[in-house]
Structure 1
Amino acid sequence: MRIALIRHPAPLIAPGICYGRLDVGVDPSAEQQIGGLAADPRLHGATRVWTSPARRCRGLAEAVALALSVPLTVDPRLQELDFGEWEGRPWDTIARADLDRWAASPLHFRSPGGESGVQLIDRVGDVQAELSRHRQDCVIVSHGGPLRVLAALLLGKPVDLLAAAPPMGSVSIVTRSVA
């Protein structure tokens, strides 16, 4: 099973703003990436494209599905971590003590009204289980958090929520043998 993981291009939002679930589009300066990503030869052979419903992912996923002539599945389990009341706020206005608590316990900390790292891992784990049942080559278009989790789960590695996310507009390939 070969899975192409694509992180959305740069979003249309000011630097320094928290935007996990905030539904923002792609920055116009990054829109030209969409055609190049959709035409990436590493995507050939995929039988389905899965995407987060966020605009910054969905437009790219639609272009990839069209280029490959395969079905598109919009799946809310591929959304970014929900930062709750932090969404849309500048990071520098969030209490340092709260950010420190999150860094000290990324699995269990929840911003007010948001979700924990465990919840993110659980919902992305459900996607991974479904992909394993289907056993088909596919493309996943999502966000840094879910892609970092999905890659680790597919490779049988521990999930590190503090590891660097893949670069925006990048493609990485994960190959997993199936019995």
Structure 2
Amino acid sequence: MKLILVRHPQPLVAPGFCYGSTDLAIAPGQLEQTLAALQLPAGLPIYSSPLRRCAELAARLTPTPHYDSRLVEMHFGAWEMQPWDSIPRADIDAWAADMVHYHPGGGESVLQMAERISAFYRDVQRQHAQAIIICHAGAMRLLSACHAGLPPAAMGLQAAQAAHQIAYGATLTLNPV
């Protein structure tokens, strides 16, 4: 299966905040900037996280996007919309010590997110040879690990250890293996 992953445009949030699954609007001008830069093949099914920062882009690309809640970014519990600097260092260290199983802010673990991303991937794989997926950086890293054939725990570990620099509006193409 060939997947074209697209990260959402820059959201309207101050730098340095943990926002995971918080449903944020797109920053002014960013949707148009992303649309102008994208070069996507026509006629492919488009799947999207239902969060506004993804859904608004998907709706501009096709009149019939498939919204799937399994593509939502990780839920950080009490850390959502908190400045990273205000989260106790001991909590950050506990997450760093067990990136796959720890529940940051009492929210979702990377393993839980990997399991839902894996289920999404299997469903899309059964239905399509190619698809475009509008999602979040975490989902992109997990989809890439899943595409490489890793089981959820290994997906989570690889995604957690991957560089976090996926630009807003960036695309990543996963070719058939």
**TM over 0.5, yes or no?**
yes
| One-letter amino acid matched to 2:41 | H
Q: Given that residues 45 and 137 in structure 1 are in contact (C-alpha distance below 8 angstroms), is that contact kept between their aligned partners in structure 2?
A: no
After TM superposition, where is structure 1 displaced by more than 6 Å over at least 4 residues in a row? none
1:28-67 correspondence runs (5 A): 28-37=28-37, 40=39, 43-66=40-63
Aligned to 1:141, the other structure's residue is in SS state strand
Supply the distance in 1 between the matched residues of 2:147 and 2:60 (Cα, whole angstroms): 25
The answer for the alignment partner of 2:74 in structure 1 is: 81
| One-letter amino acid matched to 2:95 | W
| One-letter amino acid matched to 1:167 | A
Supply the distance in 2 between the matched residues of 1:82 and 1:46 (Cα, whole angstroms): 32
Aligned to 1:28, the other structure's residue is in SS state coil
Offset of residue 151 of structure 1: 1.1
Offset of residue 113 of structure 1: 3.2
**Structure 1: any 5+ residue segments left out of the alignment?**
none
Supply the distance in 1 between the matched residues of 2:128 and 2:30 (Cα, whole angstroms): 32
Per-residue deviation, residues 118-173 of structure 1 (Å, max 9, x unmatched): 10100000011112111331100000111100011112255211312422110111
- In the alignment of these two chains, the number of paired residues is 170
Offset of residue 96 of structure 1: 0.2
Aligned to 2:161, the other structure's residue is in SS state coil
Supply the distance in 2 between the matched residues of 1:171 and 1:32 (Cα, whole angstroms): 16
**Structure 2: any 5+ residue segments left out of the alignment?**
none
The answer for the alignment partner of 2:26 in structure 1 is: 26
Supply the distance in 2 between the matched residues of 1:63 and 1:102 (Cα, whole angstroms): 37
Offset of residue 46 of structure 1: 4.6
The answer for the alignment partner of 1:147 in structure 2 is: 140
The answer for the alignment partner of 2:173 in structure 1 is: 173
Q: Given that residues 37 and 64 in structure 1 are in contact (C-alpha distance below 8 angstroms), is that contact kept between their aligned partners in structure 2?
A: no
| One-letter amino acid matched to 1:25 | A
Aligned to 1:3, the other structure's residue is in SS state strand
Supply the distance in 2 between the matched residues of 1:46 and 1:137 (Cα, whole angstroms): 10
Supply the distance in 2 between the matched residues of 1:171 and 1:147 (Cα, whole angstroms): 9
Aligned to 1:168, the other structure's residue is in SS state coil
Q: Which moved more, 1:24-33 or 1:110-119?
A: 24-33
Offset of residue 106 of structure 1: 0.9
